[in-house]
Amino acid sequence: MSAREEALKVIESVLKSGRTALVEYEAKQVLKAYGLPVPNEKLAKTLDEALEYAEEIGYPVAMKLMSPQILHKSDAKVVMLNIKSPEELKQKWEEIHENARKYRPDAEILGVLIAPMLRPGREIIIGVTEDPQFGHAIMFGLGGIFVEVLKDVTFRIIPITEKDARKMITEIKGYPILAGARGEEPADIDAIVDMLLKVSQLVDELRDYIKEMDLNPVFVYEKGKGAVVVDARIIAKAPEEKKE
């Protein structure tokens, strides 16, 4: 199965359920089809599955409840980090479901994502929006306060080339943070370039299906050590919005 076919299988299943917003787990399946780096996560539908997956992945783990009605997971307190044992996981399983019920009693719960705890890295954001005149554009910038307060981001129309990707990275004001300011080791710029090119290819091949996308945050590690998508959001086009 091609990357496009694999990604479309996920998107079409979401559209058939009457939704256009993919939950994090579904969005990461689309990214994974195109070779973007996502953590080794599993979606547990029962407590027994959660315990099994945590054992398989190895403690400590993170738990994130997946619901189409709860897209801002931190606000609903349905993200639990650094779970160190099966006993703690059982306790948090109850807590996370209770918090979801309090936040949205009518929320459909698809499961709980069991994920490894990730080593923090320098945070970046990669986004995609669609302009009615110019089509899809890819955005790149530093994550955290740099995107929320300083709006230190840059855009290009999709598809982009490797030259475009490298130019995007160096033209933001925060580039010295990635290049290695104050004696820090440089970040893995090649890994960022690879991600930008893969997102560009994904959206170019699925432009009739993708409306918006946010990979935020992405942790970027030291040169040669890669990057990983920590959270992801994709909004698909409703059938009536597609040009096909």
Q: How many domains does the chain have?
A: 2
Residue 98, domain CATH:
3.30.1490.20
Mean pLDDT of the chain: 94
Do 14 and 62 share a domain, yes or no? no
Q: How far apart are CA 192 and CA 172, in angstroms?
A: 14
Do 109 and 173 share a domain, yes or no? no
Do 77 and 178 share a domain, yes or no? no
Who's near 148: CB < 8 A, 6+ residues apart? none
Q: How far apart are CA 227 and CA 125, in angstroms?
A: 12
Do 136 and 195 share a domain, yes or no? yes
Q: What range does the domain containing 154 cover?
A: 1-39+118-243
Do 33 and 59 share a domain, yes or no? no
Q: Which two tokens stand for residue 77?
A: 């307190």
Single pTM value for the model: 0.92
Q: How far apart are CA 233 and CA 23, in angstroms?
A: 7
User: Each residue of 96-155: pLDDT tens digit?
Assistant: 999 999 999 999 999 999 999 999 999 999 999 999 899 999 999 998 777 777 788 999
The residues with which 111 forms a beta bridge, in sequence order, are 66
Residue 164, domain CATH:
3.30.470.20
Band (pLDDT 50/70/90 cuts) for residue 242 is: low
| Matching residue, tokens 């897209």 | 71
Do 132 and 189 share a domain, yes or no? yes
Do 225 and 123 share a domain, yes or no? yes
